[in-house]
Structure 1
Amino acid sequence: MNATITFTISAFVTFFTIIDPVGLAPIVVGLTTHLSNEQRNVIVTRAVFISAGIIAFFALVGRLLLDRLGIQLYSFNIAGGILLFLVAVDMLFGRPSGTRETKTEENEALTREDISVFPIAIPLIAGPGTIATTILYVDLATPEPLELLSVASAIIVTLLIAWIVMRSSVWIVEHIGRTGILVLSRILGILLAALAVQFVFNGLATFAHVSGFLK
């Protein structure tokens, strides 16, 4: 298979898994039960645009921030892989992920009128896992224009799917049910765990080369 196609598939699967559009459906329903469909759609659309802006920001300046902080990319690969693995474990066991939203934040969100920024955009869509994944994949794609385009396409398509799912969240929960959503979430969790381990291995391999352990 062409390397660019393989990279594109890998990027899409990773972003789709870490954002988990289907898993957002019951959360959006729970947070917007007191709102009309029109109000829910406005909040969902605003949240997607806000999260897109956040992701774009870290895609553009993420590597620069790491350099300014003196963080080597292999360290970020390892840390990002561990973070993604923790998210995967939560998905596999059906637990709310602390990397996305804590219980305190969830309770606070229920009292807010506008939940588009918090907690939907941050941290449910553009959370630490998404930010880490963005920086990692942009660095992997640089300086290949086609692979950078692949990363951008993977993010855009995933956000589009998330937008559609959240707008249809009531229908999805009614027809698929929470059990169906949990089953899909566990399948995605397995894929994310494997990708997370690969990120850690890549970081360790780079560290070994830089340190002279491997020639």
Structure 2
Amino acid sequence: MEVITRDIISVSLVLFSVIDILGSIPIIISMKKKGIKIESKKASIAACLIMILFLYAGEEILKLFHVDLASFAVAGSIIIFLIGIEMILGIHLFREEPDSKSSSIVPIAFPLIAGAGTLTTILSLKSEFNNINIFLGIIINILLVFLVLHFSDFIERKLGNSGAEVLRKVFGIILLAISIRLFKENIYG
């Protein structure tokens, strides 16, 4: 039981770092200022469905391209490493602020929450954790995403810009360490 709980916590923290919903608060606030209506419930459900679909069908998609899970985990570790660098240095390698005003699902659920980094991480985690632990980690994170989206104005006021930036950098360092571990564990297949 202790190992299962520890695995769920580990998966949840990894996904929390990659999704970086707290670090996305400035983007969310900016979208609101542009008149984009953010529907917390719809965006959270859509992101959850994308992540769960990729958890269970992602390997089959890889098989279509003749890519094994260890190779994908190594590639994923490189992406996670770059996301960590992005978070620490404050540069934007993968995300740009969305321009669309048509829907909050497309820019929020995908690619902001369930983007390339998140989907890569989910498949990379499969090399180390059971699907049920990853599934529960996804659910925990979607609940956190929903709360952050729903209370984004309040959180932004309480954290302030510097508080959000500190969290972003701390989770960036954690991601770097995780990416190096994933790389070492999967490099030889």
Q: Deviations over 1:130-168 (max 9, x none)?
A: 101111223433xxxxx3222111111111111101111
Report deviation, 1:192: 0.7
Which of 65, 82, 86 is matched with 1:86 structurally? 82
Report deviation, 1:79: 0.3
CA contact (8 A) 1:92 1:185 kept: yes
TM (normalized to structure 1)? 0.81
Q: Deviations over 1:6-57 (max 9, x none)?
A: 3222211100100112112221111012549xx53xx222111111111111
| CA distance in 1: counterparts of 2:81 and 2:66, whole angstroms | 24
Name the Cα RMSD after superposition. Answer: 1.9
Matches within 5 A, 1:1-215: 2-35=2-35, 39-40=37-38, 43-96=39-92, 98-99=93-94, 101-102=95-96, 106=97, 109-117=98-106, 119-141=107-129, 147-206=130-189
| CA distance in 2: counterparts of 1:20 and 1:198, whole angstroms | 20
Aligned pair in 2 of structure 1 residues 195, 174: CA closer, same or farther (>3 Å)? same
Return 131-140 or 70-79, whichever deviates more. Answer: 131-140
Identity %: 27
| CA distance in 2: counterparts of 1:204 and 1:111, whole angstroms | 39
Q: Secondary structure of the equivalent of 1:140?
A: coil
Rg larger in structure:
1
- Counterpart amino acid of residue 113 in structure 2: I
Q: What residue ranges of structure 1 are gaps of 5+ in the alignment?
A: 142-146, 207-215
Return 80-89 or 68-77, whichever deviates more. Answer: 68-77
| CA distance in 1: counterparts of 2:26 and 2:155, whole angstroms | 8
Corresponding position of 1:210: none
Report deviation, 1:200: 0.7
Q: Secondary structure of the equivalent of 1:21?
A: coil
Task: Name the structure where helix makes up a greater proportion of residues.
Answer: 1
The number of residue pairs the alignment matches comes to 189
CA contact (8 A) 1:84 1:193 kept: yes
| CA distance in 1: counterparts of 2:52 and 2:127, whole angstroms | 14
CA contact (8 A) 2:79 2:117 kept: yes
